[in-house]
Copies of this chain bind each other. A is one copy, B any other.
C-alpha cells in the first residue's frame, strides 16, 4: 500500500519503558546511560524511536530487548506523551510502558547505544532528560493504582517467595504499612498464592514458608471485573 496515500504531517514515534524491579532494599527502576544524542551521557528511561514494520506492542518489546537484553517481561501500556517540544530534534510522540521484572531472573545487558544500565531506588531517581521524570511519575501512580486491583505484584517477585517479602513489596509500592496478621489473612483469603511446602534456607533465624503465585486462574478477566482490593 502506498504510504503517500496519507497526505499529511508525519511524526516520529518512540517507546519509553519504565522497568520496575524489587529486592530486599525496595522498589527500583532501571535506567540506561545514553551513548547517543540528544542527551548523550545522561541517565534516562530505556526508550527509542521505533520503525514502521512492527505493531506497537512488539516495538515496545523490541526497544527494551535491544537496550537491555530483557525479553519476555510483563509489559503494559501506560500513556502517550505528545507535547510539541518534548524532543529537541523534532516532533516525537512517545508511548510509555511499564514493565515488571524479577530482578534475580534476568541479567541486564546494555547494548545498542545504551552504554550502561543500572537499577535506581525509586526514591533516588536523578533528573532525567526529555519528559522522563513526568513519565516516571505517571508510571508510579499507575503501578500504585493497578497493584491494588490486580495481582500483578507477583511479576516482581521470584517464583518462590515468603509472605514477608510479599508484604514488603506491597508496602513499598503503596507507600504504607500493613499489620502482619491482617495482611496475611487477607492475602491468604484470596486464592492467589499457594504454600509450596518448601522453606527458606541459609537464613540465620526461623526460616519462612515459601509460597508461589497461582497464575492460571486469573487470565482472561476484563480489568473491570477485578477486585483484588488490598
Residues from chain B with Cβ under 8 Å of A77 in the complex:
79-80
- Asked if A12 meets B6 with Cβ closer than 8 Å, knowing A55-B84, A141-B222, the reply is yes
Partner-binding segment picked from A26-34, A46-54, A98-106: A46-54
State A88–B1 Cα separation when bound (angstroms).
Answer: 7
Point out residues on A near B: beta carbons under 8 Å.
Answer: 1-6, 8-13, 49-57, 59, 77, 79-84, 87-93, 95, 141-142, 144-145, 148-149, 222-224
Q: How many copies does the complex hold?
A: 2
State A51–B141 Cα separation when bound (angstroms).
Answer: 30
Residues from chain B with Cβ under 8 Å of A82 in the complex:
13, 55-57, 59, 95
Residues from chain B with Cβ under 8 Å of A1 in the complex:
88-90
CB of B52 within 8 A of CB of A11, answer yes
* For the complex of A and B, 6 pairs with smallest distance between CB atoms: A56-B82, A144-B224, A10-B10, A5-B89, A3-B90, A9-B52
Residues from chain B with Cβ under 8 Å of A95 in the complex:
80, 82, 93
Instruction: Quote the shortest CB–CB distance from A37 to chain B (angstroms).
Output: 9
Closest to A147 in B: B224
State A154–B4 Cα separation when bound (angstroms).
Answer: 44
Residues from chain B with Cβ under 8 Å of A91 in the complex:
3, 52
Residues from chain B with Cβ under 8 Å of A92 in the complex:
6
Residues from chain B with Cβ under 8 Å of A3 in the complex:
89-91
